[in-house]
């Protein structure tokens, strides 16, 4: 039995994609070191040229104050390998939730979306456990709780109130994907809710959750909740609430 348990632990370790990775406790500090200031706080930023600082300032400024306060530093890295002390990673961005550090790979197609996504991770980590329990209750038993899925047999998304496949990993990724989708719609005119079946009330419930806990403003809530109406769905709610 002991040998079987060890085997299962090793298999799980490899299956989740963690083998050969030693996570840093904070983002790697790379030159140049500068600052970016918003109306909420001043951020220490690393590795950014002038254009990248402007993009980060624009992205972070659009987030709600409590989300901004969750972020400590931001880093642009030239190599994805720098997320880890050794090994490789496939993600375009990363968050160290304990420290509030967020980082992303240079030259990603949608850097603002990545900043919104990673900042949400930092914010989510600072929510009370009751908030995370509330999200899980809304979502239901839909998460696979693993990054090691067979991506050659992905089901079609959106489904089960999950916007894209990565959101099925856990509630942390699901929440971050909702935030990036909302901000992309409001600020970039990109509709990541395309294909959503608004009859599933969990989509609206998750959006309202983000407003309830300070992740999005009332104006942003009103803007994104026009989508089900545009789709011809009788939402049965007042978007002015």
Q: How confident is the model over 34-53, as pLDDT tens digits?
A: 999 999 999 999 999 999 99
Whether 35 and 97 map to the same domain: the answer is yes
Give the Cα separation of 68 and 187 in Å (integer): 17
Whether 119 and 135 map to the same domain: the answer is no
Burial of residue 44 (CB within 10 Å: 0-12, 13-18, 19+) is middle
Whether 87 and 165 map to the same domain: the answer is no
Give the Cα separation of 111 and 140 in Å (integer): 31
Specify if 15 maps to a domain: no
Specify if 236 maps to a domain: no
The last residue of a domain, from among 124, 157, 187? 124
Whether 110 and 36 map to the same domain: the answer is yes
What are 71's two structure tokens? 């972020």
The last residue of a domain, from among 76, 109, 124? 124
Whether 119 and 133 map to the same domain: the answer is no
Whether 66 and 139 map to the same domain: the answer is no
What are 14's two structure tokens? 């490899």
Whether 111 and 150 map to the same domain: the answer is no
Contact 225, 191 (CB under 8 A): no
> Residue 240: pLDDT band by 50, 70, 90 thresholds?
low
Give the Cα separation of 196 and 18 in Å (integer): 32
Specify if 12 maps to a domain: no
- Angle, helices 111-124 vs 50-61, to 10°: value is 50
Quick: pLDDT tens for 219-231: 999 999 999 878 7
Longest dimension (CA), the chain: 59
Whether 201 and 172 map to the same domain: the answer is yes
Look at the chain and report how many structural domains it folds into: 2
- Cβ neighbour number for residue 91 with a 10 Å cutoff: 15
What are 63's two structure tokens? 């987030």
Whether 49 and 105 map to the same domain: the answer is yes
Specify if 52 maps to a domain: yes
pLDDT at 90 over 70: no
Specify if 238 maps to a domain: no
Specify if 108 maps to a domain: yes
Specify if 65 maps to a domain: yes
- Mean pLDDT taken over the chain: 82
**What share of residues in the chain are helix, strand, coil (percent, to 5)?**
45, 10, 45
The last residue of a domain, from among 89, 124, 159? 124
pLDDT at 184 over 90: yes
Q: Which domain holds residue 196?
A: 129-230
Whether 135 and 72 map to the same domain: the answer is no
Whether 68 and 149 map to the same domain: the answer is no
**Lookup result for tokens 């590795």:** 47
Specify if 151 maps to a domain: yes
Q: What is the arithmetic mean of pLDDT over 142-154? A: 60
Whether 182 and 201 map to the same domain: the answer is yes
The H or E element containing residue 154 is: none
What are 104's two structure tokens? 């992303």
Quick: pLDDT tens for 97-109: 889 999 998 888 8
Q: Is the peptide bond before 69 cis (omega within 30 degrees of 0)?
A: no
């Amino acid at each position: 039995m002991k040998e079987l348990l060890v085997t299962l632990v090793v298999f799980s370790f490899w299956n989740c994609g963690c083998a050969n990775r030693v996570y840093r406790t904070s983002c790697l500090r790379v030159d140049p070191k500068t600052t970016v200031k918003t109306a909420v706080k001043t951020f220490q930023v690393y590795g950014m040229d002038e254009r990248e600082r402007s993009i980060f300032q624009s992205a972070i400024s659009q987030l709600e104050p409590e989300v901004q306060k969750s972020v400590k530093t931001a880093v642009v890295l030239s190599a994805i390998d720098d997320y880890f002390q050794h090994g490789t990673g496939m993600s375009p961005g990363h968050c160290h939730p304990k420290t509030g550090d967020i980082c992303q790979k240079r030259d990603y197609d949608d850097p603002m979306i990545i900043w919104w996504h990673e900042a949400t991770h930092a914010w989510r980590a600072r929510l009370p456990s009751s908030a995370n329990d509330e999200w899980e209750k809304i979502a239901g038993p839909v998460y696979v709780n693993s990054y090691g899925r067979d991506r050659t047999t992905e089901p079609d998304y959106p489904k089960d109130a999950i916007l894209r496949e990565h959101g099925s990993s856990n509630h942390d990724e699901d929440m971050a994907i909702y935030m990036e989708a909302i901000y992309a719609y409001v600020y970039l005119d990109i509709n990541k809710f395309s294909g959503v079946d608004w009859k599933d009330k969990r989509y609206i419930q998750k959006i309202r959750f983000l407003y309830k806990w300070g992740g999005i403003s009332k104006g942003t809530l009103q803007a994104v909740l026009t989508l089900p109406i545009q789709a011809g769905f009788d939402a049965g709610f007042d978007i002015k609430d």
